[in-house]
Every structure is written in C-alpha cells, then in structure tokens.
C-alpha cells in the first residue's frame, strides 16, 4: 500500500523471490507495472519483475501481509480505507518515517500492526521504474514486550520471508529505541539534503553542513532522554556520521518530495522533535530552524 520507492523496492524484492505481490498506487505507475512489470535497478541486478498493480485498495483483500508505505500525513486516511478489506488474520507492517505512525494506524484497523525501521536508498525514476542506491534492510518488532512475545512466531516468519528474498530483517527487542535512532538520522540529514539539494556524500564533505547535522542529532538525543526512550547502547552521533560516509549517493526522501513538487514529512521529523521539545522544555533551535526552512520551501511549491 503506497507504491513509492520504498514500497516498490521491498515489494519488488519479495516478488522476485516468488511471492505473490500486488502494488497499490497511482494510475500512471500502476499502468506501467501492469504493462511490462516493475523495472528494478539495484546494485546487483537490473530487470523487469512481473507483479500485479492496482489503484483499488480492495486488492489487499487476500493479503496475509500488507506493507504500509504511505506518507505519514496520509496514515489515518489510508488505514480507514484498508480496514474494510483486510483479512482478520492479516498483519500490517508500517514501513514509514517517524515514530508515531502505528498510533495513527491502530485505531482504524482490527489487525496486528507492526512498526518497523527501514534503511534503504531508493528513488523512483519514472512510472514503473525505480533505482536502488544502497542498503535495504528492515528492523521489526512490537513496543510492548508481552504482546511482542505473543506474536513472536509472526515476527519470526516475516523475518524469514524477508531473508529468503535477500532483505536483511532483524526482530528487535527494543523497537522504540530503533525507531528513535532512525528519527535521529532523518532529523540530521533529511532537511539539509532538501535545502542544499545534496546527496549525503556532499553533506559529509561540507564541514558547516555536517556540524549542523550533528547538532540536530544531539537535540534528538536530548529529547529522547527527556522522553525516557531507551536508546540503543552505542554512539549514535558516530553512527550518524558513518551513515553519511556509507550512503554517499543517497538523497533524502524530503529532498525527493521537494524535487517532485510534493509536500514533505518534515512536520513528523524535525517538526516532531520541536513540538516534543516544547512539551518537555528541551531546547531544539537547530531542528526548529531546519523545520522552518523546509516549511518555507514547501510554500514556494504553490508559487
């Protein structure tokens, strides 16, 4: 559900491994996929992958697993649309940015909703065509340990399915901390990539830009601490620096949205940290500036 770059990459990899996959997306994209398949250009192969595509959410009616890949602002509306068509024993896996998507989805559906963390560099290069630029792994889990234990067989089965499709997938013991780590990465790089029209490698080589990214990341850590989030036990600032050095050709989803004239998810990334910081009396001036500048850039889309 939501056949953008993330949905097409993971859906394409699952279809390539022999699973029956249906992409649900916009008409132009759906027509291209149904006509010739999904063109997936990865680091290891480039080929058309045969699968089905539809503009109709009813296409989920036979699905055992729904990959929920819509933009965060559309989460509640998309969940309401899906609710009438989901099998009672289906599972819904949220492959989205931000840390509060499952809270937006769960009130509207009666199936198991699983949060995840996605690390992949992928872009759509045209209708029915996508390019993979690096990584491609998932972290999945459930926030409540008791509920997580009860659904461990489901989580393990999803991880195994992904592994057989060449998608590394780890079942997390602390998915909340992992989601906040991804939020930290998003807050460090998404806005800067959009504002500077820069891939991560160029940000890494620009000392002022990198200093800004690190400052934004440190504010996220401060807000996480005040929120009593148990963060992963490692140097996340060092991890953020290494991310830019490793994913040099990656361009943030925020930058891709702006380039396509679309609204971004910035309210749920840097904007989320700003609002949570206000609630907890934690100063977040760097995130506030990045959020404000991207919002200003969004306004120019209407000019």
pLDDT tens digit string along 193-246?
999 999 999 999 999 999 999 999 999 999 999 999 999 999 999 999 999 999
pLDDT tens digit string along 31-67?
999 999 999 999 889 999 999 999 999 999 999 999 9
* CA angle (166 as vertex; 23, 101 as ends), nearest 5: 50
pLDDT tens digit string along 57-105?
999 999 999 999 999 999 999 999 999 999 999 999 999 999 999 999 9
Q: pLDDT exceeding 70 applies to what percent of the chain?
A: 99
- φ, ψ for residue 247 (rounded to 5)? -100, 60
- Domains, the chain, ranges and CATH? 5-173 (3.40.50.720), 176-300 (1.10.1040.10)
pLDDT confidence band for 273 (50 / 70 / 90)? very high
| H helices present in the chain, as ranges | 5-16, 27-36, 75-83, 101-105, 145-150, 152-164, 175-195, 200-205, 207-226, 236-246, 253-259, 270-280, 285-300
pLDDT in the model for residue 135: 87
pLDDT in the model for residue 303: 66
pLDDT in the model for residue 89: 93
Contacts of residue 172, Cβ cutoff 8 Å, sequence gap at least 6: 117, 139, 140, 141, 178
pLDDT tens digit string along 117-151?
999 989 999 999 999 988 899 999 998 777 777 89
For residue 250, is pLDDT > 70?
yes
């Amino acid at each position: 559900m939501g056949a953008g770059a993330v949905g097409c990459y993971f859906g394409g990899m699952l279809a390539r491994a022999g699973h029956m996959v249906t992409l649900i997306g916009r008409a132009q994209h759906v027509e291209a996929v149904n006509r010739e398949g999904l063109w997936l250009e990865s680091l290891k192969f480039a080929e058309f992958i045969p699968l089905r595509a539809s503009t109709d959410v009813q296409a989920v009616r036979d699905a055992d697993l729904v990959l929920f890949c819509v933009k965060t602002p559309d989460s509640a509306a998309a969940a309401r649309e899906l609710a009438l068509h989901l099998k009672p024993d289906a599972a819904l896996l949220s492959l989205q940015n931000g840390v509060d998507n499952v809270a937006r989805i769960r009130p509207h559906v009666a199936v198991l909703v699983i949060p995840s963390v996605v690390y992949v560099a992928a872009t759509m290069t045209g209708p029915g065509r996508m390019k993979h630029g690096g990584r491609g792994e998932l972290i999945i889990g459930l926030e409540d340990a008791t509920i997580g234990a009860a659904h461990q067989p489901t989580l393990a089965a999803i991880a195994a399915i992904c592994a057989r499709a060449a998608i590394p997938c780890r079942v997390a013991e602390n998915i909340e901390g992992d989601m906040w780590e991804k939020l930290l990465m998003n807050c460090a790089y998404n806005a800067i990539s959009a504002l500077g029209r820069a891939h991560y490698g160029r940000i890494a080589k620009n000392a002022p830009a990198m200093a800004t990214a690190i400052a934004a990341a440190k504010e996220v850590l401060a807000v996480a601490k005040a929120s009593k989030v148990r963060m992963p036990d490692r140097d996340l600032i060092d991890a953020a620096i290494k991310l830019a050095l490793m994913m040099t050709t990656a361009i943030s989803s925020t930058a891709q949205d702006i380039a396509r004239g679309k609204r971004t998810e910035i309210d749920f990334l840097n904007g989320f940290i700003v609002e949570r910081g206000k609630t907890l009396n934690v100063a977040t001036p760097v995130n506030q500036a990045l959020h404000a500048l991207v919002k200003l850039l969004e306004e120019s889309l209407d000019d």
